[in-house]
Amino acid sequence: MGILEVRDVNKSFGGLKALNKVELDVEEGSVHAIIGPNGAGKSTFLNCLVGLLIPDSGSVSFNGNSLLGIKPHEINQAGVSRVFQTPEIFGDLTLLDNVVIPTLASRDGAFKFNGWKRADQDSETIGRAEHMLEDVGLIDKRNMHAGSLSRGDKRRLELAMCLVQNPKLLLLDEPTAGMSRADTNNTIDLLKRIGERGITKVIIEHDMHVVFSLADKVSVMAQGTVIAEGTPEGIKGDPRVQEAYLGG
Ligand code: ADP
Ligand code: MG
């Protein structure tokens, strides 16, 4: 049985059918890539998984439990973490604070950002945040403001913010978008290391180098639906996939 099972998910925006009968099975511990041309519905689909959008119909089950009708923070607490297409970090705060905050928020659903102080936190929480920053290669920058980081470093920080919550399922929306080749390769290495810990990953990616380096399985979306599925090697020569890209 898959850790994530999606059946017949539909979502329209007015007259536009953004998702049309989407089906997906993600094996526990695997890296599952979703590729497809711009506007295929990939981000909309991810938003439906984390509760930011509510599908018009269909079912989404994670570890055997339905995720539909559940609030985003509850989905997060169930073990689903997401990296956005544009990094969502606290630019005015230090890197260390950026990683401590999601630790507190995942522990306490009623966590209040206002009035929060790092000095109030126990050494174990701080130590864990530092360990995460070390893990993603940012420990030397722990006291810098997050807003001053390069794009690649912001991505790494965002990953640390997700990982500190101990997710079972990590959803990544174009994690290497806008990165240099060197940063992309660093990110691939980092995601491989995360994979070694058994975290299941769903990764939206248009860089085929990344897909081929990481994915166990690939689903191809076009015009709101999954048009092909297989191993990276298997889908490479699929004429439907080539047509979707050329026609998209
Ligand atoms: P992808 O991530 O594959 O590029 P998206 O999921 O962002 O595609 O978009 C799929 C389609 O849905 C596009 O045509 C897009 O314009 C439309 N869309 C996405 N979000 C909204 C929204 N909030 N309101 C209206 N249309 C949207
Ligand atoms: Mg997108």
pTM, two decimals, is: 0.90
Architecture of domain 1-79+167-248: 3-Layer(aba) Sandwich (3.40)
CA-closest candidate to residue 26, choices 1, 54, 47, 9: 1
Angle at the Cα of 130 (from 127 to 132), degrees rounded to 5? 115
CB atoms within 10 A of CB 134: 13
* Residue whose CA is at the smallest distance from ligand 1 atom 22: 13
CB 78 within 8 A of CB 62: yes
Tell me, what's the pLDDT at 246?
65
In the chain, domain spans: 1-79+167-248, 95-166
Ligand 2 center to 84 CA (angstroms): 9
Ligand 2 center to 172 CA (angstroms): 11
Tell me, what's the pLDDT at 86?
65
Q: Can you tell me the distance from the alpha carbon of 157 to that of 138, in angstroms, rounded to the nearest whole number?
A: 7
Hey, is 39 helix, strand or coil? coil
ipTM for the whole complex? 0.98
Ligand 2 center to 39 CA (angstroms): 7
End-to-end CA distance of the chain: 33
Which residues of the chain fall below pLDDT 50?
248
Tell me, what's the pLDDT at 198?
84
Is 47 near ligand 1, meaning CB less than 6 Å away?
Answer: no
